[in-house]
Amino acid sequence: MMKIYFELNGEPVYTEIKPGEMLLDLLRRLGMKSVKEGCRTGECGACTVLLDGKPIRSCLTFAAKAKGHRITTLEGLGTPEDPHPLQEAFLEAGAVQCGFCTPGMILVAYHLLSHNPDPSPDEVRAAISGNLCRCTGYVKIVDAVLTAARWKREGKWRKER
């Protein structure tokens, strides 16, 4: 076992990890159940989290790599009581069916909108192209991201998280 320090959704975490364990398993053990295991081979994107603001695949990232870094999961964006505008947009657009892909989709969309608040539909498609959805057919996911982007430009994102 080894101890690492990192920041999880803005909170300091000092925890024991196994030296060979994956970030996906650590985060779920810490209660971040939005982080899903789809394939564990880097193909599906269900395990996406942000490391220092950039999307990564937590299933292929050693937990030890979180040491000294900022990790963001969907829990860090919004809660059922206080959802993030992206979460609201996904619900409003009907972009969630089983929901398994949704946390990863929202995190890559969040990253996209953080540097491009006015993406074209093609830019949204490119941004989510590494995240597989087996339910929706993607159309409503793209709609949801475009809606959230419009809300952001209209200043409707109450607080930048």
Partner 1 sequence: MAIKRYHYARDVEEALSLLLAYEGRGALVAGGVDVARGLPGEIEGLIDITAAGLSGISREGGRLVVGATATLEGIRTSREVKAYMGGFLSEVMGHVATLSLRNMATLGGAVVSAHPWADIPTALIALGAEAVWRNEERTERAPVEELYARPFRAIFRRAVLTEIRLPAWDGAFAFEKLSRNAGDIALVNCACGLGLDAEGKIAWARVAVGATPYRAERLVAVEELLAGEVPSEALWEEAGHRAAAEARVGDDMRASAEWRRAVIPVIVRRALERAGRAVMGDR
Ligand X SMILES: Cc1cc2nc3c(=O)[nH]c(=O)nc-3n(C[C@H](O)[C@H](O)[C@H](O)COP(=O)(O)OP(=O)(O)OC[C@H]3O[C@@H](n4cnc5c(N)ncnc54)[C@H](O)[C@@H]3O)c2cc1C
Instruction: Specify whether the CB–CB gap between 63 and 21 falls below 8 A.
Output: yes
Q: Does 45 bind partner 1 (CB under 8 A)?
A: yes
* CA–CA gap between residue 4 and residue 63 (Å, rounded): 9
Q: Which stretch binds partner 1 (CB under 8 A): 29-37, 39-47, 84-92, 142-150?
A: 39-47
User: Which of 104, 108, 107, 153 has the alpha carbon at shortest distance from 127?
Assistant: 108
Q: Does 13 bind ligand FES (CB under 6 A)?
A: no
Question: Which one of residues 8, 22, 96, 113 is an interface residue with partner 1 (CB under 8 A)?
Answer: 22
By beta-carbon proximity to ligand FES, the closer residue of 26 and 96 is 96
Residue found by looking up tokens 């999880």 in the block: 8
**Closest distance of CB 91 from ligand X, Å:** 30
Residue found by looking up tokens 């619900």 in the block: 91
**Closest distance of CB 78 from ligand X, Å:** 28
